[in-house]
Structure 1
């Protein structure tokens, strides 16, 4: 892997982590992980969009996808927050967080993917 790509991914990672921190600061949540849910759902929508952009260098897609979006979203935080909800007895919040993350994430990814496929075929959608 070329050094330029490594550096681009690292810089993208710094950008994504900074954007995630901004969301954490802006969305103060007590008892329910709204900030992580928001970041993860945004990332689920954006990743297919970025990966399916036509005429964009594959290395740029890697820098944005792996660097920015990869550091903006996090499965490990989702996992830890889920365990914390369970351990604190917040079963309803756990299932809500789990289902919105799972169904919302896949749904937004599918929506973005479908939108980009249609767009790339010249269909307005």
Structure 2
């Protein structure tokens, strides 16, 4: 099938499908006219890629574990897969902790700002001296 048909069947833009091919997540054959020709199985592969991206995995990890997938998100045991998944989970946990810190600081900034009038602290509001 041509890239336009693959795009219609998967809901993924042609540009993104070309990116997936450049990063070796999918592959195609070239027709005599140079057009990309995708196998019908590529539809399911694109769906797997999308599911793994939604799980927060980067394309380099997806490329490593994609051969181990057998449906949308389940994996067969393959060397290094669990290590890669655990490493990615650690990265996501750290990002979540960083975001929570940023949220807390933003809430404090909003609260402090709400307690000021025209840049002057409201009566009874403690302020800190810049260091």
Task: Say which one has the larger Rg.
Answer: 2
Specify which structure has the bigger relative contact order, considering alpha-carbon pairs within 8 angstroms and separated by 6 or more residues. 1
Structure having the higher strand fraction is 2
Same fold at TM > 0.5: no
TM-score when scaled to structure 2?
0.30
Which structure has the highest helix share of the two? 1
